[in-house]
């Protein structure tokens, strides 16, 4: 990562409500130039609302901050001109060809040397052989590439991606992230929301939102370490029965199945060890201390937020 000390996003205290329901509560964030920043959180956590406030599509009820050096309250139009925003759903025109879609977007942004810019975008995203194909005939992965090409046509300084890989196959997801890393390496700042832990682990830093509140942020290592989570991996017989029994034990904050194993976690190591002692002595079960995963932390944060 070649981040500079310049904050591309620098906001504090953002709040937003709809019909009397608070969707985002006291949100603060700094994202530096060239960072690939991941947004995590369950459905309804406020990720999309936050992204729209950052790029000038929504005005916060309160709070302050800047995006690309422009005030998010007073200079939304200037922000929108320098941002590429990829929505959750494919939002281009399915009855136009790939090239016609890009040409239309280039006209909207008054991109200079429009045809050359479209050609570059087609080549950069591997769409050169599909320029005459109707967008509606593309698979999910190719629609994703087209949407990304449209986002970067006007050479934005900030790319906002709202769950861009939902519904595409693993190969397309991997190729998409290779493209995103290339853009970040070239100096573009990228903020991406995702549900996939493997994608979050590819980000320079991440933030976790739940029910409109920012719960934690940092590198993946910092977030996992900051959770103070202690985890055991258990394999053996009758794991379903074991899971039901352990869920009622003090100090056991998380019991989650991962394939043919259980992850047993808690933040009080001594209490967790005492509460599981009888089962750890069972020769039919194999207990191994394990490093907590980001998914363990994700599940724990989500359950904790539900109880607030």
Q: 7-223 sits in which CATH class?
A: alpha beta
- pLDDT for 4 equals 52
Is residue 51 within 8 A of residue 191, CB to CB? The reply is yes
**Rg (Cα) of the chain, in Å, rounded?**
22
Q: How many C-beta atoms surround the C-beta of residue 128 within 10 A?
A: 13
> Is the domain covering 228-291 a CATH 3.30.70.920 domain?
yes
Same fold: 7-223 with 228-291: no
- pLDDT for 258 equals 86
Q: State the average pLDDT for the chain.
A: 90
The answer to whether residue 112 scores a pLDDT higher than 90 is yes
- pLDDT for 163 equals 86
- pLDDT for 111 equals 93
% of the chain beyond a pLDDT of 90: 62
The answer to whether residue 46 scores a pLDDT higher than 60 is yes
Q: How confident is the model at residue 1 (pLDDT cuts 50, 70, 90)?
A: very low
End-to-end CA distance of the chain: 36
Token code pair at residue 171: 């190969």
Q: How confident is the model at residue 304 (pLDDT cuts 50, 70, 90)?
A: low
Is residue 133 within 8 A of residue 96, CB to CB? The reply is no
* CA pair distance 226, 208, nearest whole angstrom: 13
Q: Write down the pTM of the prediction.
A: 0.86
Cβ partners under 8 Å of residue 74, min gap 6: none
Helices 140-152, 170-185: crossing angle, 10 deg rounding = 10
Q: Strand pairing partners for 161?
A: 86, 192
Q: How confident is the model at residue 44 (pLDDT cuts 50, 70, 90)?
A: confident
* CA pair distance 272, 57, nearest whole angstrom: 47
The answer to whether residue 9 scores a pLDDT higher than 70 is yes
| pLDDT, tens digit (0-9, with 9 covering 90-100), for 80-99 | 999 999 987 888 899 999 99
Please provide the DSSP assignment of the chain as one string.
Answer: ----S-EEEEEEEEEEEETTEEEEEEEEEEEETT-EEEEE--TTSSHHHHHHHHTTSS--SEEEEEETTEETTT-HHHHHHTEEEE-SS--S-TTSBHHHHHHHHHHHTT-SSHHHHHHHHHHHTT-GGGTTSBGGGS-HHHHHHHHHHHHHTT--SEEEEESTTTT--HHHHHHHHHHHHHHHHTT-EEEEEES-HHHHTTSSEEEEEETTEEEEEE-HHHHHHHTT-EEEEEEES-HHHHHHHHTTSTT--EEEEETTEEEEEES-HHHHHHHTHHHHT-TTEEEEEEPPPHHHHHHHHHHHHHT-
| pLDDT, tens digit (0-9, with 9 covering 90-100), for 144-156 | 889 999 999 999 9
- pLDDT for 146 equals 93
| pLDDT, tens digit (0-9, with 9 covering 90-100), for 243-302 | 999 988 999 999 988 889 999 999 999 999 999 999 999 999 999 999 998 888 888 877
| pLDDT, tens digit (0-9, with 9 covering 90-100), for 145-195 | 899 999 999 999 999 998 888 777 888 888 889 989 999 988 899 999 988
Domain ranges of the chain: 7-223, 228-291
């Amino acid at each position: 990562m070649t981040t500079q000390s310049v904050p591309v996003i620098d906001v504090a205290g953002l709040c937003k409500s709809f019909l009397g329901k608070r969707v985002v509560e006291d949100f603060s964030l700094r994202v530096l130039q060239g960072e690939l920043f991941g947004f995590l959180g369950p459905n309804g956590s406020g990720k999309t609302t936050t992204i729209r406030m950052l790029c000038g599509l929504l005005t916060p009820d309160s709070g302050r901050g800047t995006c690309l050096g422009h005030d998010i309250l007073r200079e939304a139009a200037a922000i929108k001109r320098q941002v590429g925003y990829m929505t959750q759903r494919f939002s281009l025109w399915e009855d136009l060809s790939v090239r016609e879609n890009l040409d239309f977007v280039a006209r909207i942004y008054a991109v200079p040397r429009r045809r050359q810019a479209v050609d570059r975008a087609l080549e950069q995203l591997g769409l050169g052989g599909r320029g005459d194909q109707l967008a509606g005939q593309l698979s999910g992965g190719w629609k994703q590439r087209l949407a990304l090409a449209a986002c970067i046509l006007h050479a934005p300084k900030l790319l906002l991606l709202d769950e861009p890989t939902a519904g595409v196959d693993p190969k397309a997801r991997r190729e998409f992230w290779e493209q995103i890393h290339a853009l970040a390496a070239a100096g573009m700042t990228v903020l991406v929301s995702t549900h996939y832990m493997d994608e979050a682990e590819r980000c320079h830093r991440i933030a976790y939102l739940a029910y409109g509140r920012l719960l934690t942020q940092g590198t993946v290592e910092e977030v996992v370490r900051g959770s103070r989570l202690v985890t055991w991996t258990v394999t053996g017989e009758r794991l379903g029965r074991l899971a039901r029994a352990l869920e009622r034990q003090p100090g056991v904050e998380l019991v989650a199945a991962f394939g043919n194993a259980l992850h047993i976690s808690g933040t009080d190591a001594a209490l967790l060890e005492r509460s599981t002692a009888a089962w750890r002595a069972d020769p039919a079960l194999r207990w191994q201390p394990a490093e907590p995963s980001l998914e363990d932390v994700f599940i724990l944060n989500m359950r904790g937020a539900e109880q607030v």
